[in-house]
Amino acid sequence: AQSVTQLGSHVSVSEGALVLLRCNYSSSVPPYLFWYVQYPNQGLQLLLKYTSAATLVKGINGFEAEFKKSETSFHLTKPSAHMSDAAEYFCALNTGGFKTIFGAGTRLFVKA
């Protein structure tokens, strides 16, 4: 069965520190993977997507994610956190059909 697991419902980092948000997936076919960000009172916005062209994917706002098939992971990172990065982050998976499976979300807190 296809699934997405985000490890850690809350992550707190200091401004300027590394951001690491974890996502593991389960899929019986090659997956398409996405990271979305949701700011308060807004809808989800695409940060980046993996489409098999490259395992290291760069997205907006300095975020990037690395696809590791052997670990079934697609973790999101940013070298230096900014206060404006505080938001909810969702990992998502498409393995066929029109349905995209979303993870439960990780809330990122950034401390000054």
Partner 1 sequence: DTAVSQTPKYLVTQMGNDKSIKCEQNLGHDTMYWYKQDSKKFLKIMFSYNNKELIINETVPNRFSPKSPDKAHLNLHINSLELGDSAVYFCASSHGTPYSNQPQHFGDGTRLSIL
The residue to which tokens 């951001």 are assigned: 19
Look at residues 109, 108, 110 and name the one whose alpha carbon lies nearest to residue 6.
Answer: 108
Q: Closest CB to partner 1 among 17 and 44?
A: 44
Whose Cβ is closer to partner 1: residue 16's or residue 96's? 96
For residues 95 and 54, give the distance between their C-alpha atoms in angstroms, rounded to a whole number: 18
Positions in 43-102 near partner 1 (CB under 8 A): 43-46, 49, 51, 88, 90, 94-100, 102
Q: In this complex, which beta carbon is closest to partner 1, that of residue 15 or of residue 105? A: 105
Residue with tokens 């395992």: 55
Strand partners, 40: none
Give the interface with partner 1 as residue ranges (CB under 8 A).
29, 32, 34, 36, 38, 41-46, 49, 51, 88, 90, 94-100, 102, 104-105, 107
